Amino acid sequence: MASQTNDPGLFSVPEDYEELRAAVRHLAEDKIAPHAAEVDATASFPQESYQALIDGQFHAPHIPAEYGGVGADALASCIVIEEIARACTSSSLIPAVNKLATLPLMLGASEELKHKYLTPVANGDALFSYALSEREAGSDTASMKTRAVPDGDDWVLTGTKAWISNAGESEYYTVMAVTDPDGRRGANVSAFVVEKTDEGVSFSEKERKLGIKGSPTREVILDHVRIPGDRMIGAPGEGLKIALRTLDHSRVAIGAQALGIAQGALDVATAYVKERRQFGKAIAEFQGLQFMLADMAMELAAARALVYVAAGKSDRNEADLGFFGAAAKCKAADVAMQVTTDAVQLLGGAGYTQDFPVERMMRDAKITQIYEGTNQIQRIVMARQLLR
């Protein structure tokens, strides 16, 4: 998983990446897939998956070697997330959320802060969560109400962050808070690292969700949480700039997650139609179903090409990453929703039951159209870049 030097291209992936895919797929099928249904049914954190990912060094592969990680580039990270999501979407949020939450540090933190917080994540000793959204500040992040007030050398944070993935399980949180209430909107927010054990940090009950039930989603409640000043990421007022740069990169990983969900559903549906018999023959012989499978595979292949190209742009930090990151996430998420819905249809009544994983995959796919910016927001991002 060395650093990528060449564009992955539209048509092929280098051999070492396919070797990585085979290794992650083997681990996912052996150690993660057997627990996926139970994790969903009980809405329990996938602890067995987490340990298996740590053992395989797939829990946070993006962290550079100087902080104890394996230094996977964006394409390698995407393949890891994609293959885990093929087996269990909730489990794929372990590396995906670790990447989302630590990217602000990688982009803007001091070396001291990077070493202090990236190292335990790389070692598998801690999870990291990203706390940007609030109940009334979702797509409109600049309207957040959480405040950070200076007090001597410290900052005191007060507010509530909502929809936080893996909240309660994570030891560390990247928190965005307004540091200059009278400042220019969008330039008055700063980023901080908050620890789970800081006095005044608490969590709501888990949200009752449609899918990704094994990844706990909670509010993070900050009640006059005092933290040292050296836990600010970047300079005062740079929080939203860092947050938006983070999302340009992390949205590619959500695209990869959507690919995995869609691939898992397509695999199940393909196997089923070859076995299921009606009117004296396998239903795979009916042209109407063949056309459905062909469309599912075609759309998935197109989405995968876009995600992998976006991953290359992420590694090179190219100027059009904003467009390609948004496009990759948007296209792959829409494809995942369509492919999983069609997979349920192909299985008929069986697809609507929990005897097969496609109903879970369909429920899980929906969130990829919503988090890290709804697909409507992605289209705004793309349009703005086109019209600059």
Q: Give the CATH number of the domain where residue 50 resides.
A: 1.10.540.10
The CATH number of whichever domain residue 312 belongs to comes to 1.20.140.10
Per the structure, the complete domain to which residue 179 belongs is given by 128-238
Residue 2 domain-assigned? no
Q: For residues 233 and 248, state if they share a domain.
A: no
Residue 7 domain-assigned? no
Distance CA(110)–CA(353), nearest Å, equals 50
State residue 11's pLDDT score: 59
Q: For residues 184 and 154, state if they share a domain.
A: yes
Q: For residues 112 and 184, state if they share a domain.
A: no
Q: For residues 183 and 200, state if they share a domain.
A: yes
**How many domains does the chain contain in total?**
3
Q: For residues 254 and 357, state if they share a domain.
A: yes
Residue 8 domain-assigned? no
Count of beta carbons in the 10 Å neighbourhood of residue 241: 17
Residue 380 domain-assigned? yes
Distance CA(28)–CA(48), nearest Å, equals 11
The CATH number of whichever domain residue 137 belongs to comes to 2.40.110.10
Residue 295 domain-assigned? yes
Q: For residues 154 and 231, state if they share a domain.
A: yes
Provide the terminal-to-terminal Cα distance of the chain, rounded to the nearest Å.
36
DSSP state of 200: T
Q: For residues 278 and 321, state if they share a domain.
A: yes
**Sign of the alpha-carbon torsion through 40, 205, 102, 142:** positive
Q: Name the nearest CA neighbour of 48 among 259, 264, 261, 214.
A: 214
Q: For residues 173 and 111, state if they share a domain.
A: no
SS3 content of the chain, % helix, strand, coil (to 5): 55, 15, 30
pLDDT tens for the chain, residues 1 to 388: 433 334 444 457 889 999 999 999 999 999 999 999 999 999 999 999 999 999 999 999 999 999 999 999 999 999 999 999 999 999 999 999 999 999 999 999 999 999 999 999 999 999 999 999 999 998 999 999 999 999 999 999 999 999 999 999 999 999 999 999 999 998 999 999 999 999 999 999 999 999 999 999 999 999 999 999 999 999 999 999 999 999 999 999 999 999 999 999 999 999 999 999 999 999 999 999 999 999 999 999 999 999 999 999 999 999 999 999 999 999 999 999 999 999 999 999 999 999 999 999 999 999 999 999 999 999 999 999 999 8
Q: For residues 377 and 292, state if they share a domain.
A: yes
Per the annotation, the verdict on 372 as an active-site residue is: yes
Q: For residues 154 and 255, state if they share a domain.
A: no
Q: Which of 122, 141, 162 is the last residue of a domain?
A: 122
As beta bridge partners, residue 149 has 156
Count of beta carbons in the 10 Å neighbourhood of residue 288: 7
Residue 377 domain-assigned? yes
Residue 328 domain-assigned? yes
How far CA 79 is from CA of 95, 138, 221, 222, in Å, comes to 11, 28, 34, 35
Inter-residue contact 157 to 194 (CB < 8 Å) = yes
How far CA 58 is from CA of 14, 107, 266, 312, 361, in Å, comes to 19, 21, 24, 20, 22
Residue 203 domain-assigned? yes
Q: Which of 221, 238, 255 is the last residue of a domain?
A: 238
Q: For residues 358 and 329, state if they share a domain.
A: yes
Inter-residue contact 361 to 265 (CB < 8 Å) = yes
Q: For residues 143 and 245, state if they share a domain.
A: no
Which one is catalytic: 83, 134, 299, 372? 372
Residue 154, C-beta contacts closer than 8 angstroms, at least 6 positions apart:
226, 227, 228, 229
The two tokens of residue 61 are 């592969």
User: Angle at which helices 375-386 and 321-347 pack, to 10 degrees?
Assistant: 150
Query: Residue 151: exposed, middle, or buried by beta-carbon count in 10 A (0-12, 13-18, 19+)?
Result: exposed
Q: Which of 212, 238, 264 is the last residue of a domain?
A: 238
Inter-residue contact 329 to 373 (CB < 8 Å) = yes
